[in-house]
Structure 1
Amino acid sequence: MLNDPRSHGLWEKTAPSAPVTGALSGDCRADVVIVGGGFTGISAALHLAEKGRHVIVLEGAEIGFGGAGRNVGLINAGMWVMPDDLPGELGEVHGERLLDMLGNAPRLVMELIEKHGIACELERNGTLHCAVGEAGLKEITDRAVQWRRRGAPVTLLDATETAKRVGTRAYAGSLLDMRAGTLQPLAYVRGLARAALATGAILHTGSRVTGYARSGADWTVRTASGSVTAPWIIVSTDAYSTGPWESVRQEQVHLPYFNLATHPLPPDMRAVILPGREGVWDTKEILSSFRMDQAGRLVFGSVGALRNSGRAVHVSWAKRALKRLFPMLGPVEFECEWFGKIGMTDNALPRFHRFAENVVGFSGYNGRGIAPGTVFGRTLAQLVLGDIGETELPLPLTDPKAPALRPLKELYYEAGAQIAHVVGERF
C-alpha cells in the first residue's frame, strides 16, 4: 500500500481489490463517526449499519492499512496472558467476562465470513501452539488445564502427533485449539468493508482526522477536506494512532513483527508440512509463527523489522530456521516480505477508554487483532446502541497511560531481535 511493497506483502498481492472509496469532502452529519478502518472500526460500522444507524468511517490511509492488513492471519481465541491470570489483572468479573468473550470471538469472525460471503481463505482446522523444550511443554500444559476448566475444546498433543501435523520433530508437543483457524487478513477486512457498505455505512479513505471539538450536544470531527458532526465517536486506530488520539499509541510499546512468504510449495511438500492447514506459533520468547496460504505458500514470521540492517539479518535467519525445521524444502527463496507494528500494553491486555462523553474506543490488541478486534467492534456498536452499558463491558474503564521508557523499550525490541537472529539457528 502507498507504494510500499513491504507494508502488506503477500496479503496485498493476493487479496480481492478494495471497495471503491474516496476522501471525505465537505461537511456532513451522521449518527456515529468511526475513526479507523481496521477490524474494530469496520466491525463496529457493520453492526451499527445493520441496526439502521447512519455511520461514517474516516480512515487516514486505506482500509486495513494498519495491523489489520499486515498480521499473520491467525484467528486466535483468548490473549497471550494465561487464562487464570486475567481475573488477577482485571478482577473476577471483568477477567472471566473477557475470557468468555474472547474465547468465543473466533466464532463471530467465521459467522460473519459465512453470512456475508467473504472470500478470505478461511481455514477452520484450528491452531497449534508448539512447545520448545520442557519449559514450553509446561507452558502449554498449564494453558490447556486452564482453558479446559472453562470448557474450551483444546487438546494437548504429544511430540509424535505434533510432528505429523506440523512436519517437523522440533517440538516437544503442542496445544491444538479447535476454536481457532486462519484467514487472509487483508481480504477479510476488505470483505467486512464491502458488507458494511452494502448495509448502508459510508467509508472514506485518505481522510486523516486532524481534530475534533464540541458542536452543541454533538461532536464535529475534522479532516483536511471536510467534517462529520455526530453524537458519538468511536476511536479504532490502535497502534497506528496519530493526531487527536495519539495517547492510544503512546500507551503502547511497539513490537515490530515481520512475515516472509515462500513461493507455492510442490504438492509433495504440502502433504508433509501442515497438511491440515493449522496455524502455528511457538513458545520461544522471540517467537516464530507459520502457516500455509491457499496457494501453498509457507508464511513464516518472527519479531523484527525489515528495514535498515534488519532486513538482511531477519531474512538470513529465516532461511536457516526453515532449513532446520523443514530440511526437505532445500534452499528457500521468498516471494514476498512485509512487516508492521504490534502495540503492546504493559499488562499485555486490551483496554477500554472513554476519551470524553460519547467518545469511546478499545486499545492494545497485543498481537491478537482479528478475533478481538471483530468482537470489540461489535461491543462498541452495542454500547452506542444502548444495548449494553459501560458496566457490562468486558474491560474496566481506564485512562490512557504511557509506559515508562517506551522509546527505549522499542529500540531494545528491534535491536534485540536483530541480535537474537544474527546468532539464531547457527549452532
Structure 2
Amino acid sequence: MTSDLASCLWHQTCQENPAFPDLAGEAEADLVVIGGGYTGCSAALKAAGLGASVRLIEAEDIGSGGSGRNVGLANAGLWLPPEDINAELGAKAGNRLSALLAGAPGMVFSLIEKHAIRCEPERSGTLHCAHAPTGLKDLQRRHAQLTAIGAPVELLPREEAVRRTGSDAVHGALFDPRAGTIQPLAYVRGLARAAAGAGAQLHGNSPATAISRKGGTWHVATPKGSIRARHLIMATNAYARGISGYDAPQVIPVHYFQAATDPLPAALLQKILPGKEGCWDTALVMSSWRLDQAGRLVIGGMGALNHCGSALHRNWLPRKLAALYPDLKEAKLRSFWHGRIAMTTEHLPKILDLQDGFACFGYSGRGIGPGTLFGAAMAEALLTGDSACLPVPPVRDHAIPFASLRSAYYETGAALTHLVSNR
C-alpha cells in the first residue's frame, strides 16, 4: 500500500461496506477477475448479469487501490482532447472511443441509481478552471474540439467562473454538464455489492500468487485456494503486484495526494462551489478541489506522501487553499492521503489481449467512467466472443522505456513546483 488508509476521508465516510470472504479451496468459474477496483467490479457485475459464473479476487479490501483514493470526479472523456485521441488511434477508432466515453458518466450514475449505491452522487457537472490567463488558450482549444463532436460543454468567462467556484483565482472555466462527483470508495464497493447480488462471488484478502494457462483454462493460485476459469480479466491497473507466471504491463506510476477541511459553515457554502461542481485546473502540475456531501472542501495535487520530500506537498496545500479561498486561510486540513495513477506514454487506456483474457490499464487519472465502461465491455467481449464492443482495439504487447525514471521526473517536478508556488 502507498499510504495509511485510516487517514483517507473516503474510508472514514464510506456508507457501503460489504464483507467478502477470503478465497479458500478450489473453485471453478466461467470468468476470473483479478482486482477489486472499478474495472474489476464492473466486469464482475456485467458478467454475472450475462449469466456467467464469476470469481473476483482482490489482494486487500475492495477499493483499497486507486478506486478508493481518487478525487471522485466522474468525468466524460479522457484527459486528452478528441483530436489528440484521433492522432493516436485514427479518426474512426478515436471518434468511437470519444463517443463511448461521452456516455460513461451516464453509465456510472445509472448504475448508482439502479443499485441504490450510497456514494453521495452529485451530477452538477465539472469545471476545468484556467489557473492563469494563459490557461484559457488550452480551454478554448478543448472547447472547440469537444463542441465539434457534439459535446454540450460551455466555455465560461472569468466573471462566471469566479461566481461558480467562489474563487478570484480562476480566469475562466470549461463547464461539462455530463459529469459530476461521487464518493469514490462507496461507488466501487456498491458495484461489488451489486455484483454479489447478481451472483458473482467476490473474495477479499486473496492476492493472486501464480497464474498459468493450460489446455484453454486459466489457473490462478492464491495463498489459500485456486480458481480454474475459461476467461481471465486482469484489472489491477496501477496496483499490480508480482505474480508468478505473469508480467504486468508497464505503466508510468504517478501519484496524487489530497486532504480535506472540516465541514464548512453554511455562510461559506453559499459562496464556495454553490452549485457543487467538481474542479481541476489547467496548471502543468494539476490541482483539484470539490465539496463532499458534508460540506468538506477536498483539495489535492500531484505528488506522493511517502518519501522524504513529501513535506513540500503538505506545506503547499494550505497555501493553495488560501490562494483559492482567502476565507479558508486558517482552516485546518485533515485526512491526508494519496493514491497511484497508471499512465501510458500516449495518455490512453490500453487493453492487452491475453488469449481468452484481457488486461486493462492506463486511465491516466480518469478511472471512474472509463473503468466502469472498460470492465463491462471486456466481460461482454469474452463471454460473447465478439470483441466489437471493446472501446479500443486490443494489443498483443505493450512496453514503456524508462517507466520508473519518468515517474521520478513527475514526482520531482511536482515537489519543486510545490516548493515555490503560492508563496
The TM-score, its normalising length taken from structure 1, stands at 0.95
* Alpha-carbon separation, structure 2, partners of 1:391 and 1:276: 39
| Offset of residue 7 of structure 1 | 6.9
Helix, strand or coil for the counterpart of 1:402?
Answer: coil
Helix, strand or coil for the counterpart of 1:256?
Answer: strand
* Alpha-carbon separation, structure 2, partners of 1:376 and 1:392: 10
**8 Å contact kept, 1:49–1:201:** yes
| Offset of residue 392 of structure 1 | 4.6
Q: Deviations over 1:250-296 (max 9, x none)?
A: 52111111011111111111111101110000000001000000001
| Offset of residue 405 of structure 1 | 1.8
| Higher mean displacement: 106-115 or 126-135 | 126-135
* Alpha-carbon separation, structure 2, partners of 1:146 and 1:53: 40
**Which of 384, 405, 409 is the equivalent residue of 1:412?**
409
Helix, strand or coil for the counterpart of 2:105?
Answer: helix
Residue in structure 1 matched with residue 387 of structure 2 by the alignment: 390
| Offset of residue 101 of structure 1 | 0.8
Residue in structure 1 matched with residue 296 of structure 2 by the alignment: 297
Residue in structure 1 matched with residue 36 of structure 2 by the alignment: 37
| Offset of residue 393 of structure 1 | 2.3
* Alpha-carbon separation, structure 1, partners of 2:265 and 2:122: 20
**Which of 369, 372, 385 is the equivalent residue of 2:370?**
372
Q: Deviations over 1:210-263 (max 9, x none)?
A: 112234332111111111111100111111112348644x52111111011111
Matched, 1:46 2:45: yes
C-alpha change, 1:32 and 1:152, in structure 2 (3 Å) is same
Q: Deviations over 1:26-46 (max 9, x none)?
A: 001111100100000000101
Matches within 5 A, 1:219-238: 219-238=218-237
Residue in structure 1 matched with residue 338 of structure 2 by the alignment: 339
| Higher mean displacement: 125-134 or 67-76 | 125-134
Task: Give the counterpart letter for 1:419 in structure 2.
Answer: L
Task: Give the counterpart letter for 1:375 in structure 2.
Answer: L
| Higher mean displacement: 237-246 or 292-301 | 237-246
| Offset of residue 353 of structure 1 | 0.6
**8 Å contact kept, 1:346–1:403:** yes
Unaligned residue ranges in structure 1 (runs of 5+): none
| Offset of residue 17 of structure 1 | 4.7
Residue in structure 2 matched with residue 146 of structure 1 by the alignment: 145
Task: Give the counterpart letter for 1:184 in structure 2.
Answer: Q
C-alpha change, 1:307 and 1:112, in structure 2 (3 Å) is same
| Offset of residue 134 of structure 1 | 3.1
* Alpha-carbon separation, structure 1, partners of 2:397 and 2:21: 31
Residue in structure 1 matched with residue 242 of structure 2 by the alignment: 243
**8 Å contact kept, 1:32–1:53:** yes
Helix, strand or coil for the counterpart of 1:398?
Answer: coil
**8 Å contact kept, 1:281–1:287:** yes
Matches within 5 A, 1:147-166: 147-166=146-165
Helix, strand or coil for the counterpart of 2:111?
Answer: helix
Task: Give the counterpart letter for 1:226 in structure 2.
Answer: G
* Alpha-carbon separation, structure 2, partners of 1:379 and 1:208: 24
Q: Percent identity?
A: 45
RMSD of the TM alignment (CA)? 1.6
**8 Å contact kept, 1:274–1:292:** yes
Residue in structure 1 matched with residue 352 of structure 2 by the alignment: 353
**8 Å contact kept, 2:381–2:388:** no
Matches within 5 A, 1:23-422: 23-244=22-243, 247-248=247-248, 251-355=250-354, 357-386=355-384, 389-422=386-419
The TM-score, its normalising length taken from structure 2, stands at 0.96
Q: Deviations over 1:351-394 (max 9, x none)?
A: 11112x202121101000000000111101210221x6234522
C-alpha change, 1:260 and 1:232, in structure 2 (3 Å) is same
**8 Å contact kept, 1:126–1:180:** yes
* Alpha-carbon separation, structure 2, partners of 1:65 and 1:259: 16
* Alpha-carbon separation, structure 1, partners of 2:184 and 2:165: 22
* Alpha-carbon separation, structure 1, partners of 2:328 and 2:211: 54
